[in-house]
Structure 1
Amino acid sequence: MPLNLTVSPDFAPDHISGWFYFNTYLQRQLGIPIHLELYDSFEKQRQDIREGKVDLIYANPYDASMLVRELGFKALMKPAHKADETVIAVSVSSPCGSVEDLQPGSVIATTDDPDVHTMGMIMLESADLDDSNIQVKTLKNYVLVAKTLLKGEADAGFFLKQAYDELSELIRSEMKPLVSSQIGVIHHVLLAGPAFQSHEDALKSTLLSMADEEKGRNVLQNMGLVGWELMSEEDSEFMIDLIDTLID
């Protein structure tokens, strides 16, 4: 029976093929069957995670907390040189030039990606905005957040910075960022569940050497990554504690 790999739904649609290439690459390098399951919503993915249907996951920081603390997953790797940051953006036609220009009653487009939403809400505090004086419109993905801004159906939107940067040039030309977080220590994580335990060492070795050979570099490029780095238990615990503190 194949092991199951999945990816946090916040990756750019352009990278769908890259994750399939990655899955094929892993199967060949590790010599084991792996099934890739992609989701279009966090809710469905989290349901399957809790039902034990996931063995290896490239998870966002919020879900990493649940996976490690509740479900016994182990953080193994992180993407090299790729921290998770949050961008607040508006339509290019918006009169707002900074977060402080946003007014009470503003409609904020966001996703159900909790760490990005939380960072966005923290950055709104400088405008004296919070859940009590804004309207939140939750959408399935960042492409829909952008479309909502462009249609004039929201005053501002929260984006994972990588997702914002990977929107088409045409869409980005119709928006302008007001602010971006600069935390630098929050990032996606590749975590392995109990069923993947016997393959952890081989997986680490495979990922660390991906950027050293042509096939591996091509796969990484299609995923929007430049390489992988080991993630220590201490680094994992620090990031999870930080996320828990921000969200609480």
Structure 2
Amino acid sequence: MTLNLTVSPDFAPDHIAGWYFFNTWLQRQLGNAVHLELYDSFEEQRQDLRAEKVDLIYANPYDASMLVRELGFEAIARPLAQPDETIIACREDAEFESVEDLQPGTRVATTSDPDVHTMGMIMLEPADLDSSNISIAQRSNYVLVAKSLLKREADIGFFLKAGYQDLSALIQNQMKVLVTSQISVVHHTLLVGPGMREQIPLLQERLLAMHEDDKGRSVLESLGIEQWESMDRERTEFMIDLIDTLIP
């Protein structure tokens, strides 16, 4: 039986090849066919998750709650020292230097990534800004958020920190960071569905040792990951509780 792997749609486009490399590596480790399905939208992916079409997913923190508590997935690993932080950035030549300088009417470019968007909105609170006194334009990825800033279609943009850092140096040099979140315990996670539960010990063992050989290390580098570290139930539940507090 072919297993189905997917990735949260907020991953950097530069890592598309890396996920195909990871898919090939995964097949060899499990001795089983694995199909990688990439989605353009969160909603389309969630529909297939609820339809039980996914066995393994590299998920964003927001979806981890649904996956674990509603669909019976189990978190097994996360990238080492790569928490999901949110950045609010603007053009380098913008007149404001901090969030407190922003005024009502500020134009915000964001994505459909719910945890990043929500954290960005929370970080606007010191300027007394909320959805009632700003305009929000949704873009499909962080490259387009950055383009909205550079084309002066938006004043600020919300970015996943990793997504911002994956932008080219040319683009980053035309922007500046106003503020970065410092939560440190929210992160993307690799989760396994109920149908793969028996394979968790083997998969977790291979993932945690992946950085120890040249082939595994090369795949990790293509994903922008140094190495995996294990996730247990307690860590997972703590992260989910925090996300549920931030996003009602």
TM-score (norm 2): 0.99
Residue-by-residue CA offset, 1:144-197 (whole Å, 9 max, x unaligned): 101111110011000000000010111111111100001100000100001111
> How far apart are residue 51 of structure 1 and its match?
1.2
Task: Report the residue type matching 2:184 in the other structure.
Answer: G
Q: Distance in 1 between the 2:69 and 2:136 partners?
A: 29
Q: Distance in 2 between the 1:39 and 1:165 partners?
A: 22
Report the counterpart of residue 66 of structure 1 in structure 2: 66
The secondary structure found in structure 2 opposite 1:11 is coil
Matches within 5 A, 1:99-114: 99-114=99-114
The secondary structure found in structure 2 opposite 1:177 is strand
> How far apart are residue 40 of structure 1 and its match?
1.6
RMSD: 0.7
Matches within 5 A, 1:185-224: 185-224=185-224
Report the counterpart of residue 5 of structure 1 in structure 2: 5
Residue-by-residue CA offset, 1:121-161 (whole Å, 9 max, x unaligned): 11000101011111111111111101111110011000000
Matches within 5 A, 1:1-248: 1-248=1-248
> How far apart are residue 79 of structure 1 and its match?
0.8
Residue-by-residue CA offset, 1:63-94 (whole Å, 9 max, x unaligned): 00110111111111111110000000001121
Task: Report the residue type matching 1:16 in the other structure.
Answer: I
> How far apart are residue 96 of structure 1 and its match?
1.1
Residue-by-residue CA offset, 1:21-73 (whole Å, 9 max, x unaligned): 00100101110111001112111111111111111000000000110111111
Q: Distance in 2 between the 1:156 and 1:46 partners?
A: 28
TM-score (norm 1): 0.99
Task: Report the residue type matching 2:178 in the other structure.
Answer: L
Q: Distance in 1 between the 2:150 and 2:70 partners?
A: 39
The secondary structure found in structure 1 opposite 2:152 is coil
Task: List runs of 5+ in structure 1 lacking aligned partners.
Answer: none
How many residues align? The count is: 248
The secondary structure found in structure 2 opposite 1:14 is helix
Question: Which stretch of the first structure deviates more once superposed, 46-55 or 236-245?
Answer: 46-55
Task: Report the residue type matching 1:100 in the other structure.
Answer: E
Q: Distance in 2 between the 1:184 and 1:220 partners?
A: 21
Q: Distance in 1 between the 2:105 and 2:59 partners?
A: 33
> How far apart are residue 198 of structure 1 and its match?
1.7
> How far apart are residue 221 of structure 1 and its match?
0.2
Task: List runs of 5+ in structure 2 lacking aligned partners.
Answer: none
The secondary structure found in structure 2 opposite 1:236 is helix
Task: Report the residue type matching 2:27 in the other structure.
Answer: Q
> How far apart are residue 119 of structure 1 and its match?
0.7
